[in-house]
Structure 1
Amino acid sequence: MLDIADELTRWVEEGRDFAVATVVAVAGSAPRRPGAALAVDGRGAAVGSVSGGCVEAAVYDLCVQALRDGVTLRERFGYSAEDAFAVGLTCGGEIEVLVTPVPAAAPDRSVWAAALAAAARGTAAALARVVRGPAGLLGRPLLVRADGSYEGGLGGSPELDRAAAEQARALLEAGHTGECEVTEGGARCGPAVTLFVESSAPPPRMIIFGAVDFAAALVRAGKFLGYHVTVCDARPVFTTRARFPEADDLVVEWPHRYLQRTATDGRTALCVLTHDAKFDIPLLEAALRLPVAFVGAMGSRRTHEDRDRRLRAAGLTAAELARLHSPIGLDLGARTPEETALSIAAEIVAARRGGTGAPLTGLRTPIHRAAEKTGGTGAAGAPAAA
């Protein structure tokens, strides 16, 4: 639901009644992941999507029904082998949706409003709801903040709220959205309820080192993928707003010094485009020892071999060097800055999602993988982008 927070925040401000259907579980090759949502207001307007089109009409009707009856619903949709034209996911997967009415007069409307506002601002917060358990608990919101404080309630005991807040905070810290179980009394034994926790965190960072022509195209690709993009270079003549109008931040500083003082996490992508040893070596020596998602460096194969020798001489281990994607990018035959940026962005997505970068034609691996990779990257990168 938090993926459509901007629109729903506006609906809250306008005092609209609405119902929201959220994907809470996925099996097989479903097109949308948990957290995807479709909302319908009292006038029939709709925003969002839960399946990319397969079951939108049926979920729309459930939203209308929930808003009319004031009752939270849970429904599963899947492919029907008997009738390919029946309501179902023709991609072969299954999704489970939770449909919750949020009328303007709802007692917990302020909790919904706070959760949506936090997501719209990019503030770290998690929204927990019961998706399996006593009917009276379904759909009630519990908003959990990064510091562990929370508001709202699941409709059970205070112990349940505290246990749910602890679980939600753990998922928030990891940047995950998904299900978890807690016991009704908050104890380690007793009947359990299943929570669906949506985590809303600030966008991941992409830091591009080197204010070169390729960097301008990569800034645009990074913004398209939802990154907060920073360009860093020690040369002020190149690091200008005129050259990088779409970058969120421009930093004039030696790259390794900036990396040592700036915040990174397990979602951060570091792209080194300088291909100049005096910048690259101290920067990569620091970068490959950070728990970031992706470290890639541009350059020819000869540059990569020289870089590898220098980094080994600097004391980096084989395991640390194996995290380096160099030459950066997938082998697309790229030539232009835009094509090269596409190849780099594709490799970042593949590393993040566990993809191979191979054509889907002829492959028998799942198109939609079950989980996103977290933490550091795996083996060395693919062939050069250009």
Structure 2
Amino acid sequence: MTTPPMTAPFRFPVAARYAGMESSPLKDIFAMAALEGVVSFAGGIPDPELFALEDVTACYDWVLSHQGHRALQYGVSEGEIELREQAARRLSRDLPTDASQIRVTSGSQEGLFVVAQALLEPGDVVLVESPTYLAAVQAFSVHGARMIGVDTDDDGVIAEALEEAIRTHHPKMVYLIPTFQNPTGRTMPIERRRAVADVLLRTGVPLIEDDPYGALSFTGSTWAPIAALPGMGERTILLNSMSKLMSPGVRIGWMRAEGAILDTLAVAKAAISMQSSVVDQLTVARYLETADLDGHVATVSGIYRERRDAMARAIAPILPGGAHVTHPEGGMFLWAALGEGYDAQEMLPAAVDAGVAYLPGWSFFADNPDRSTMRLSFVTHSPEVIEDAIGRLGEVIAAHPRD
């Protein structure tokens, strides 16, 4: 009997855009969250105990009882009309919107991919905040775009730096998260929003505005999107999501736009996933129609505020001299910069061994990463758990003096 020759294991040829990407920061977030005995601050993962389970169950039951055959059938790429009407109603609080201007997505994450598919060619430049949402960097990068980070301060992207970057790099679009930004938690005040809008209006560059966290305010104050400023509605694609307000497992969000781009977004959505889940769309529409979402969000935001306060109290004394930490007025995240000589990625294994995890900040930068930074989410755990875990993190930081 002839022994077959030894050959190397078969490997599929991988597209250059994914070469070397056996993992990703997003995948690692959920892996760390699942580690036994580790308190994870890595992901913006809502506390499941705060889900409005009875209301959501009632909405699924109603949809399956009253619209079951339709709910289990194919739908349309634009999204089901009931959900588009409810989304338009919510957006119209700040920005007049009708259902024809809404395109439904499977969460705002898919919305970013749809936008990239519809707008970007290889080599296009996208200007982003420095730092910015890591999955946006991934979505734009795999479409061949080149991300350029624009300088920020505690009020968000700096308008003068944005104008200079537009003049230098001639971008295809600008991507911003103005309210309770991921990863820093910063919020642009209205004066900064107006200054940014003025730059975009004068230069003619379109805006992709991501707003998944804006309702999670700890002060009762809310901020209208940049898209609501005069002249910006027609040149902005505004992304929203129900993931942080209702349930991330439902995976429903939407985009608001005006004009011919709406047809292109629908074509791109159809090419990617045909449509979002009809049963989930109808359930979210029923929830928005019948449940008290604003009351639920107010309750959740109050609990998140207590958890932010617990993390802020615990982290202040453990940070080295010269470190900087944000104090967000809403959302899910604190952002800590330990300062020169620290490397948050190098410290992570020791932190996990100590029973606490965070997300190193380097992955949120389009370029020139600050490796001393870390993102910490305060929404998943109780104040007692937060304070104990941050204390252990302090011991890890103290054991890693500046290089």
Normalised TM-score (structure 2): 0.26
Normalised TM-score (structure 1): 0.27
More strand by share: 1
Ranked by relative contact order (alpha carbons within 8 Å, sequence separation 6 or more), the top structure is 2
More helix by share: 2
